[in-house]
Amino acid sequence: MERLQKVLAQAGIASRRKCEQIILAGRVEVNDEIVSELGTKVDVTEDIIKVDGKPIRSEEKIYLMFHKPKGVISSISDPEGRKVVTDYLTKVKQRVYPIGRLDYDTEGLLLLTNDGEFSNMLMHPKYKIPKHYHAVVKGVPHGNDLEKLRQGIMLEGKMTAPAEVEYADVQPDMSQSVISIIIHEGRNRQVRKMLEHIRADVLKLRRVNYGPLSLQGLSRGKYRHLSEQEVKSMKKLASKSH
């Protein structure tokens, strides 16, 4: 017997948190009875489970790395008709969801999966998976400002965790620089807000690594499947972090 929200997540319906919302909304039936109570336990070998009237089925787990271009929404749909990440996954038959988000103006490494447990593991703050960004900014921020980001700053009433912040490159005329930032959280637009806090004017922001994974060899707008070893390494990293 397993919790209903876990079963739904494992079936690729959505992340576990989103599955909880689906249950609370009364959209789930177990043996033709609506179940809207979290924590309900089911037997996947015997119980007939439906979401919006359709039986769930266990999909083959799929793990993708996508090089998101700027100007693309980290979602599977957009009411304004803008491009979304799944527009680029034309050969993927499974229904996959982004793990976290990269904002509209940010490009770089984005993971997608139909494995709700894997998604929850990587997104949950307690697992502290490092995410590495390169920010191209105007001028060269003062070293004291970078030290503030290393120590943690107050954003929207809450301190950020200490970050790893270094100069990655500086133009000879000091007109631009590249700042390397590694964070272990996933707050909304966090890196941009951190740089805004020190009055750094961001020209370009790109996520280059997610844990041990990198964009090496993957062109903008392209995707690839993670290897079994890469999936294992991400799970191992999360288990070590917790």
Beta carbons of 107 and 215 less than 8 angstroms apart: no
Q: Crossing angle for the helix pair 116-123 and 228-241, nearest 10 degrees?
A: 50
Tokens standing for residue 185: 């959280």
In the chain, alpha helices (H): 4-10, 16-24, 116-123, 143-151, 190-197, 228-241
CA distances from 180 to 17, 155, 177, 204 (A): 31, 19, 10, 12
CA angle 204, 186, 119 (to 5 degrees): 115
Catalytic residue of the set 43, 47, 52, 103? 103
Q: Is 103 a catalytic residue?
A: yes
The torsion of the CA quartet 191, 80, 70, 112, rounded to 10 degrees, works out to 80
Q: Say if CB 64 and CB 114 are below 8 A apart.
A: no
Residue whose token pair is 């988000």: 101
Q: Which of 183, 226, 189, 242 is nearest to 208 (CA)?
A: 183
Report the alpha-carbon distance of residue 80 to residue 145 in Å, rounded.
Answer: 38
Catalytic residues: 103
